[in-house]
Chains A and B, each alone.
Chain A
């Protein structure tokens, strides 16, 4: 250390002059706010009544704050690790390719976007409607390429109309059928625009050695019409598979024609008529990304999108400093690429990885904007994190800045261990 830099020695006022601006700034902008928060956290919402440590007590009793703390811990455990991991993979892989710079630029690009804008982008990405949210668009198109769409999604029977909907979505006729019957299977809840081109329904002729019937939309445009009767203008539901079940298995099946009629062979005598659920399965609408269960992982995903680039750039810089000869030596000794990566590259990069992890941990503890913007109001309590809770408590309803300050101090306490690790490391590096 600079023990004997004699220029300033014996001239304390010069030292003071040099230190003063920095001290003033630090004092006014860092120390004072912290001390004031600490002081304010001992008072109630109005700022007049001294409450001691009551605010700190409610930190651990208030369910909303507990949920926020829990989410913060999930963030802390997942987000920095995933971002650093991805950054490491990108950094190592891009080292070998020719367009490395372009690729890195691309990955790093999200860092140039503000958290707020990124939040808005991901709110759209996670939109439930597959026509708008790209995440669900991907999920549904993958799903739909493996399963065919139902002919009449959303169709249901009227309640108490002789048809019963089973828990699995299939529709069963309450009474068994016998040959010579002509049955009516009325359904409703098909959108008018979907049946615009359908043919009018027609009652099926009874046939002596067969079961016939009609599946149709039992709703007249513009109202009117009697339930359970094929009225004029009511449309046929074509392409519905009608199955005849005896003793729990299907003995015959038929598809409805353009006019809604079907005909089952004589085997169907005494069978139960069943319209399989696959006829009416609602179209697959993807994943409820922003629902209570997935919202935190979804937001962490958007965070990783932003920060993996940051991790990559730092790790790539560290990688550039790894001596090539050591890697070469390992290869000469017969290590394969995975072993080189696992046993040589990663240990050599450990200090950089540590710095990246710690930086991201500090960053993650104060995550706020993404959660505020991406989580819809109804699931905000499920996605809550401490910084957001701090904001809502202090500046939202109730404006309890006492409790808010307590949360702020608590956050500070959470950051301090990470800071100490970081400072230690820096000191060690300086000594090296």
Chain B
């Protein structure tokens, strides 16, 4: 369909390349433990433009990533400032869906790109283990310290070394709704899970299918589960489960699935029932909610901020008027913030040191200037906390960014992206298959848990 959804699917496929679970464990523990790092650059506000970039006239840098279309051109618009300031030329190399393979081949061929934009934490760790990555350098380190919460910095680090700069974030804890349906039913955006389920019931009574679930794509289902689990069991348990330190047969998983079953087990709450949900892929789950504004096929659809671009590309609905958003309802005490993102890493398979140009580019990517230009293009969320919210082009974007930034270090990275790809990112096995089975038969929680545990045991190599 549209190009806007391709990077999403693409990044998932990259994830199928072996992710390194042990490494994921390291980062997660790091996330959980550090609370004081966030305050370092709190006072710098939006004026972090004191970046002193060297003169790089005549240099050419290659940036490799899965992005195409608007995402790629928005990125290049942000990079234009870098080219102006340094005189260097930056070329974007599209890698296709399978970034890790592409980079591997380039490195084998002796022509590694200078910087790669990677969506999977596991892939970064794999690259680092192979010695392909160079530390970001002092200049970028400064920018990171000033602009990024510790959690985001740690996600880009491996074995105590800072290799990556998170340039783009995704907020995957959002529910999008059709304002017509909400007005017809006379309901307000719910804030807790119980309210969410009862709101869905009222919407159903009003004659619209309440929740559109893109169950044909396993990853939307894992995101549902992760949000519920993070909010219900809390960040510590979430980290342990992501590391497979607690088994999937744990009571907390039973609870989360039971909660999810309150929605998935009610045929009338799902658009098309569970059979319909299993047939619906992610883009369709969005378009059926917003395509027909007078008679929508569904009232709400859950997914990340990237839903906005699907809405504006594939439907006539206007984000901010016809399509609004509320944070994922809190199951436990707090609303969860499950995030994703793309991290820039400097590739230097030969020396392990970043060149001056690479360091400069990494520092630029970590700067607020880059984030500001990029945010202005729309369809972009920055993990950069120094970026003033005014930089976002509309209220919806601002709201999403605020939810992400205000979570501080309590956000958690998408579990299925942290897990080995065989468990967290493959059609027909692991979490994807388990949750599709669960959607098909929400009664059989025990069976799903046993399947998850056996798959996890195989994938984590226990």
Contacts and interface: CB of A to CB of B under 8 A. Distances in A.
Contact of A222 (B184, B218, B421): B184
Nearest to B272: A128
A392 B186 contact: no
Contacts of A189: 204-207, 268
B333 interface: no
A58 to B, nearest CB: 11
A193 B204 CA distance: 14
B208 A191 contact: yes
A287 to B, nearest CB: 12
A397 B422 contact: yes
Nearest to B181: A192
B421 to A, nearest CB: 4
Interface stretch (B13-21, B67-75, B85-93, B392-400): B13-21
B407 interface: no
Contacts of A194: 207
Contacts of A262: none
A201 B460 CA distance: 62
Contacts of A217: 207
B275 interface: yes
A395 B101 CA distance: 9
Interface string B411-450: 0000000001110011111001100100000000000000
A396 B16 contact: yes
A223 interface: yes
B428 A380 contact: yes
Contact of B436 (A128, A378, A384): A378
A325 B206 CA distance: 76
Contacts of B101: 395, 399
A37 interface: no
Given A156-B268, A378-B436, A395-B98, A384 B187 contact: no
A310 interface: no
B6 interface: no
Contacts of A222: 183-186
A358 B17 CA distance: 37
Nearest to A384: B428
B279 A219 contact: no
A376 interface: yes
Interface string A28-71: 00000000000000000100000000000000000010000000
A371 interface: no
Of A156, A379, A397, most B-chain CB atoms within 10 Å: A397
Interface string B269-312: 00000011011010000000000001100000000000000000
Given A220-B186, A378-B279, A381-B433, A396 B207 contact: no
B17 A377 contact: no
Interface in A363-410: 376-381, 384, 392, 395-399
Given A376-B279, A380-B428, A190 B207 contact: yes
Contacts of B16: 396-399
Of B18, B279, B295, most A-chain CB atoms within 10 Å: B279
Of B185, B275, B281, most A-chain CB atoms within 10 Å: B185
A290 B279 contact: yes
A380 B427 contact: yes
Given A192-B184, A219-B205, A376 B426 contact: no
Contact of A397 (B15, B185, B202, B205): B15
Contacts of B409: none
Contacts of A398: 16, 18, 420-422, 426
A399 B268 contact: no
A104 interface: no
B427 A223 contact: no
A193 B216 CA distance: 29
A221 B183 CA distance: 8
Given A188-B207, A219-B207, A377-B217, A397 B186 contact: no
B234 to A, nearest CB: 28
A381 B428 contact: yes
Contacts of B204: 188-189
Interface residues of A, number: 37
B215 interface: yes
Contacts of B15: 397
Interface in A285-313: 288, 290-291
Contacts of A158: 205
Of A158, A188, A378, A392, most B-chain CB atoms within 10 Å: A378
Contacts of A12: none
A395 B183 CA distance: 48
Interface string B229-270: 000000000000000000000000000000000000000100
B18 A399 contact: yes
Nearest to B187: A223
A288 B15 CA distance: 31
A48 to B, nearest CB: 13
Interface in B177-192: 183-187
B218 A193 contact: no
Contact of A378 (B186, B278, B420): B278
B7 to A, nearest CB: 18
Contacts of B420: 397-398
A217 B207 CA distance: 10
A219 B98 contact: no
Given A223-B202, A378-B216, A392 B207 contact: no
A163 to B, nearest CB: 13
Contacts of A397: 15-18, 420-422, 425-426, 429
Interface string B163-198: 000000000000000000001111100000000000
A139 to B, nearest CB: 16
A223 B279 contact: no
Interface in A224-273: 224
Contacts of B294: 193
Given A191-B207, A291-B275, A45 B18 contact: yes
A192 B427 CA distance: 38
Contacts of B279: 128, 288, 290-291, 376, 378
A329 B412 CA distance: 83
A224 B187 CA distance: 9
Nearest to A189: B207
A376 B276 CA distance: 12
A124 B218 CA distance: 21
4 smallest A-B Cβ distances: which pairs? A223-B186, A397-B16, A397-B421, A397-B426
28 contacts: A64-B429, A128-B276, A154-B207, A156-B268, A158-B205, A188-B207, A189-B268, A192-B207, A192-B208, A193-B295, A219-B185, A221-B186, A222-B184, A223-B187, A223-B206, A224-B186, A288-B275, A376-B279, A377-B432, A379-B278, A396-B16, A396-B421, A397-B17, A397-B18, A397-B421, A397-B429, A398-B426, A399-B16
Interface of B: 13, 15-18, 98, 101, 183-187, 202, 204-208, 215-218, 268, 275-276, 278-279, 281, 294-295, 420-422, 425-429, 432-433, 436
Interface of A: 45, 64, 128, 154, 156, 158, 188-195, 217, 219-224, 288, 290-291, 376-381, 384, 392, 395-399
Given A191-B207, A191-B208, 17 more contacts: A128-B276, A128-B279, A189-B206, A219-B206, A221-B186, A288-B275, A376-B281, A377-B217, A377-B281, A377-B432, A380-B427, A384-B428, A395-B98, A396-B426, A396-B427, A397-B422, A399-B17
